Structure 1
Amino acid sequence: MTASTEGATDTAATTDSGPTSLDTGSETGHQTTAGGDTDGSKPDLGAAPDEHCANPGPWPLPEAPLLELPRFVAHSYIDLDQIGWMTKFRSSVGHDYSDAFERCRSMKHYAYPIDEVDWGAVELYAPVAGEVIVVEQERYGSRVQLRSTLHPEIDFVLFHVDLMGPLAPGATIAAGELLGTHYGDQTYSDIAAATTVDGAWRLISWFELMTDDLLAVLQARGGISSPSDIIITQAERDAMALCCTNGQFDDPEELSDWVPLDAGNLAQPTRLGLATLDDDDGRLR
């Protein structure tokens, strides 16, 4: 699929081997007639969550599917010992990174190192065993998209990877295999995960896919007791809808969207605003 221009959302193209592309720099959204009356009219879903915004999107959007997600991710994509904070799913950090079912929210997780860490030395790993689908140069480092071998309906995307060696689509990767390091302190490291519903990507939180053992590693640090601590639900975000213009959030990011991994850590990230649409342009391919 040819990538659309910034600020536009396309549903995923599909091939016999599965979906191939989605531009998640959403700004136009999608409309649907599904669920309407037999005469073709649409049900009354009430006002759009972002009707107060200067640039509200089309309404309604397709109804988000209820998914039964496997919990199979046993390896962190990043060296957690070097990370002090991560953002919530559907946060206000970065830029609009949404799917066909939602708009104007960051449906991925950013990671922020602890203060004394060299950002360019933070190691990045394959969260699962799988096949490399895309390797693409970004402004800062490379974007790597990996399709799970165990659950090929689920893809993972790691952003801003400084690869340790050549990596090409078609390569097979072991779970926990070192891919390289984070590019550096010009931008945050981030991870996205997605599955497909009727040919369209549905973004999901990496935390929803973790095994109990991996979640226990985070729980031991005390900052996160369950995935719900780091996931804003769709209903919660709709009730506190963000506003976007051309794929960018209209308002500054909320510090409360950064979750400390260590209990009792009252400090907050000091270098904000490092993730922009120009950095990774929002495209999950």
Structure 2
Amino acid sequence: MKTYLWIVVIILVLGLVGGGVYVFGFRSRNSDNNPTNLASEPSNGTVTKFIQADFIDLDKIFSVSKFRSGSGHDFSGNGETCRSMKHYFAPNWSQAGENLRQANNGMPPAPNGTNDINIYSPVDGTITGIKTEKSPIGEQIYIQPDSQKDYTIRLFHVYKNTGIEKGSKLTAGQKIGVIGQYSTTDIAVQKGRNNFISYFDVMPDSIFAKYIARGIKSKNELIISKAERDANPLQCNGENFTKNYDSDPSFGNYVFLSGYTGDTASPSSNSSNPSSQNPAETGGNGISREGGG
């Protein structure tokens, strides 16, 4: 009788253990397939449109460089090389601005408090870093969005407002600094350590409407695809382009906006000769990925 009872007990114990193993294995497999454990990107391969405000006074901007352009210097990631994976924003060229640059060792003059171009935080977020540029033009500001903490927005050549420091909490649309009326700034959107995507890829249509109002038909006008750039490669020596691609309009580095309202030369004086517009040079050509624009 005792032997029979022990057999029953052993069978019950084995049943409980086996059931626990089955349940654990079932739950583990379900957990692996649970969407909450997957990457935050949508399944269709698009990215979240998390920009909440444009980062610049667009009415004072005359041209925007294309993502993967040959403007400025090599700024690349994602396994790509020799291309500028960010956007330069520039006011119109003018002889007055050129004269001031020549008198300032080729650098654009600092903001004067009168004709400056405002720079805003494009998201609710936190400043995670402020770095000195290698060229003496403002500083580089790193912003982590509250809603997308695996991203960093990098703004270049900004003369920051008093009180804007590492650790500062920002609200979308908050003014954080300025650039001078004859200067440029650039913006990069970084995911993780070394992956870059276009600012316009994370911009909702409600904000992009401002660019449509300035003559841009679609975001594709502002982005050179990887396939197109790979088929038409640029040449680099280290982080420098081997030629000034901005001076050759056939490379189509920039998109020119309509309705420019800046205080420099009128758009008509420049539209017929895009090669005269070389905005990235004012930002410091050949500056490293980490240190500057």
Question: TM-score of the superposition, structure 1-length normalised?
Answer: 0.69
Higher helix share: 2
Displacement of 1:225: 1.4
Number of corresponding residues: 214
1:195 maps onto 2:203 in alignment: no
Instruction: State the partner residue of 2:164.
Output: 167
Q: Tell me which structure has the larger Cα radius of gyration.
A: 2
The one-character-per-residue Cα deviations of 1:126-180 (angstroms, maximum 9, x if unpaired) are 1111010111122211100000001112110000011121322221111011011
Match of residue 149, structure 2, among 143, 152, 157: 152
Q: Residue 128 of structure 1 contacts residue 174 of structure 1 at CA under 8 Å; is this kept in 2?
A: yes
Counterparts of 1:1-285 in structure 2, within 5 Å, are 67-115=45-93, 120=111, 121-138=116-133, 139-183=136-180, 185=182, 187-196=183-192, 200-222=193-215, 224-254=216-246, 255=249, 256-262=252-258, 266-267=271-272, 268=274, 270-272=276-278, 273-277=281-285, 280-283=287-290
Residue 239 (structure 1) shift: 0.4
CA contact (8 A) 1:157 1:284 kept: no
Q: Which structure carries more strand by proportion?
A: 1
Go from structure 1 to structure 2 and tell me whether the alpha carbon gap of 1:228 and 1:238 turns closer, same or farther (over 3 Å shift). Answer: same
Q: Distance in 2 between matches of 1:80 and 1:216?
A: 12
Deviation at 1:271, TM superposition (A): 4.5
CA distance in 1 between partners of 2:184 and 2:240 (Å): 16
Hey, what's the Cα distance between the residues in 2 that align with 1:146 and 1:269? 33
| 1:237 Cα deviation after fit | 0.3
Displacement after TM superposition at 1:277 (Å): 4.6
Checking the alignment, whether the CA contact within 8 Å between 1:156 and 1:191 is kept in structure 2 is yes
Alpha carbons of structure 1 residues 74 and 261: separation in structure 2 relative to 1, 3 Å: farther
For the structure 1 residues 182 and 67, does the alpha-carbon distance in structure 2 shift closer, same or farther, using more than 3 Å as the test? Answer: farther
Which amino acid in the other structure matches residue 99 of structure 1? G
Superposition deviation, residue 73 in structure 1: 1.2
- Structure 1: 5+ residue runs without aligned partners? 1-65
What RMSD, in angstroms, separates the aligned Cα atoms of the two structures?
2.5
